[in-house]
Amino acid sequence: MKKLVVASAMALACVSLVSAPALRAQDSSQQITIQNPQEFNAYQQASTQTDPAQKAAALESFLETYPQSVVKKAVLIELIGTYQGLNQPDKALSASTRLLQIDPNNMQAIYISVFIKKSDCQKSVNPQTGVSNDPQTCDDAATLSQKGLAVPRPADMDDATWTKMTEATYPVYHSAIALDDEVSKKDMKGAITEYRAELMLYPPAETEKVGQGLADTLQLAEAYAKPGDSQDQVQAIWFYARAWNFAPANYKALIEPKLEYWYKRFHGGLDGLDTVKTASEQTLFPPASFSIKPAPTPIEVVDNVIATTPDLKTLNLEDKEFILANGSQSAKDKLWAVLQGQLTPVPGKVVNDPANVLKVSVTTAAAPAKPKDYVVKLQNPVACGAVPEPPSELHIKDAQDYILANGDKADTDAMGDDLTGSPARIRKITIEPAVSTISVAVTEDAKNSQPPVADFIVNLKDPESCKDAPAPGDEISTQPALELDGTYSTYSPVPAANGRQASAQIVLSDGFLQLEKKTPAHHPPAKPPAGHHATGL
């Protein structure tokens, strides 16, 4: 029942981003004759350059001078290869696009375009939401991939060469379509279909080493794990186990918590997981007979935990939330009687913590050593970065006007003369936008929801200045890292809906942040002055 946090599984895909392999140029056997001597000489001079950068510039110059040349296609093919060698993907993409304008079915141009656009799509994925910030690029890669899958074999290409070409390109096309379904269209059913189609095209050994096959094995697991009609926890477990078997050691540490989470969630414990790992090492796809015994019902699980845990305070936050969401009323009451009023850290991902108050300190001429502190609610809570910049503390009238314009009337009225009196009697007014509530996603379900949802709401005892408060998407841990603490106050069950499991929203009061403790810099001991000898004592 324990739920663990891991980095985005998209990370493993990054290690498979290698240079796009070159494909044999189509129609390379055709003999082309340039009739114009000047054009022929210019082509010869450009194509025989030995320096790649100079060659690319010369070929581009040739195309500008002879835009309708009979060797335009050959020049563009040469440009693609040259730009690949120079590691200039944007220019390789430009040359590929121009080649497709004159040869729409050119497999090399389609493949290079898909490879580069797919890479750009992967880079555009927001690690917090799993959604692309550039869906058009993802869509373009998928559209070109569909086209690549439909291109017929050229009449002058033999079957062996065509087979070799499709073996290299088709898996990438299916991968690009799957990625678009997953991070742009949010169509997990479509993503699953395409990832499976891709993986079926690889020789088994290609999915057992770092590369796109292994990365997309993990992506298939992620797609199966996403909430919705296409969710299949048994399939997710299999492909997480398969990816774990062959991932490098540092990625095993990222995959294993998810594998254990989903296995434990479905089965109720970790017994038997090693058997799944062993079976998934032998074959990419699970056999038809593969199954995992389902866990007891949530109420049965909760009753067992309550009965076998001597001190319910020792349960982790995820387990406590699970009990409050899924247990019988008597189990919930028993746990809540132990928790209510108790202090707890709240590690998780910040979902929301808007600036909703102003911390105001007023120093008057009459009492310069005793500033008055106020907390003024903002009329319109916004993200910390969107709060209008407060005036300088010495611009008294501007500060008063700022507070009146943005603050809640009941709170501004409570400031009395400190807000409406003559600026001459006030030495300074310090204003700090601050947050008084931090919403956190603690459980794996809450973090995996799109968008993430908060299952723990912490109301702070004293507002925290925006400069010190965590931002949405930040991970909160425990000391010596940034830690958020609060006292259990209330909770509300949230019924299962729209493919999401039942959950509980837990509210904590008197919250406070403990800022990250920086490790002191290590300074080597000073050398003794010349002539000084250590005593050894």
Instruction: Determine the average pLDDT of the residues in 96-110.
Output: 95
Same domain, 361 and 478: yes
In angstroms, the CA 198 to CA 519 distance is 47
pLDDT at 4 > cutoff 90: no
Burial 161-194 (b: 16+ CB within 10 A, else e): eeeebbeebbbbbbbbbbbbbbbbbbbbebbbbb
Instruction: Determine the average pLDDT of the residues in 54-61.
Output: 96
Say if CB 41 and CB 341 are below 8 A apart. no
Q: Is residue 265 part of a domain?
A: no
Say if CB 350 and CB 338 are below 8 A apart. no
User: What is the pTM assigned to this prediction?
Assistant: 0.59
Q: Is residue 8 part of a domain?
A: no
Neighbours of 252 (CB within 10 A): 14
Same domain, 462 and 429: yes
Give the pLDDT confidence score for residue 78 in this predicted structure. 94
For residue 153, list its beta bridge partners. none
Rg (CA), the chain: 31
CATH number for the domain harbouring residue 98: 1.25.40
Q: Is residue 138 part of a domain?
A: yes
Same domain, 80 and 175: no
Residue 51 is part of which domain span? 38-103
Q: DSSP for 207-263?
A: GSSTTHHHHHHHHHHHHHHSSSTT--HHHHHHHHHHHHHHS-HHHHHHHHHHHHHHH
Give the pLDDT confidence score for residue 450 in this predicted structure. 79
Give the pLDDT confidence score for residue 497 in this predicted structure. 80
Same domain, 231 and 359: no
Same domain, 355 and 418: yes
pLDDT at 536 > cutoff 60: no
Q: What does the block give as tokens for 187? A: 């169509």
pLDDT at 446 > cutoff 70: yes
Number of domains in the chain: 5
Q: Is residue 31 part of a domain?
A: no
152 preceded by cis ω (within 30°)? no
Same domain, 389 and 484: yes
Q: What does the block give as tokens for 155? A: 């009449």
For residue 51, list its beta bridge partners. none
Q: DSSP for 478-518?
A: -TTS-EEEEEEEEEEEE--BTTBPPEEEEEEEEEEEE---P
Q: Is residue 6 part of a domain?
A: no
Neighbours of 431 (CB within 10 A): 23
Which amino acid is it at 499? Answer: G
Q: Give the closest residue to 261 by CA, choosing from 45, 508, 52, 6.
A: 6
Q: Over pLDDT 70: what percentage of the chain?
A: 91
Phi-psi region of 341 (alpha: psi -120 to 50; beta: other; left: phi over 0): left
Q: Is residue 278 part of a domain?
A: yes
Give the pLDDT confidence score for residue 296 in this predicted structure. 86
Q: Is residue 121 part of a domain?
A: no
In angstroms, the CA 397 to CA 321 distance is 49
Same domain, 385 and 480: yes
Same domain, 326 and 395: no
Same domain, 61 and 168: no
Which of 29-38, 170-179, 264-273, 458-467 is predicted least confidently? Answer: 29-38
Same domain, 422 and 489: yes
Same domain, 99 and 146: no
Q: Is residue 112 part of a domain?
A: no
User: Which band of pLDDT confidence, cut at 50, 70 and 90, is reported for residue 31?
Assistant: low
Query: What would the pLDDT profile of 192-251 be if each residue is shown by its tens digit?
Result: 999 999 999 999 899 999 999 999 999 999 999 999 899 999 999 999 999 999 999 999
Q: What does the block give as tokens for 288? A: 């038809």
Which of 227-231, 343-347, 493-497 is predicted least confidently? Answer: 493-497
In angstroms, the CA 198 to CA 223 distance is 14
Query: What would the pLDDT profile of 266-294 be if each residue is shown by its tens digit?
Result: 998 899 999 999 999 999 999 999 999 99
Same domain, 508 and 394: yes
Q: Give the closest residue to 225 by CA, choosing from 405, 447, 391.
A: 447
Say if CB 448 and CB 225 are below 8 A apart. yes
Q: What does the block give as tokens for 206? A: 């290609």
Instruction: Determine the average pLDDT of the residues in 434-452.
Output: 90
Cα four-point dihedral sign 174, 180, 183, 188: negative
Which of 441-450, 452-461, 477-486 is predicted least confidently? Answer: 441-450
pLDDT at 30 > cutoff 80: no
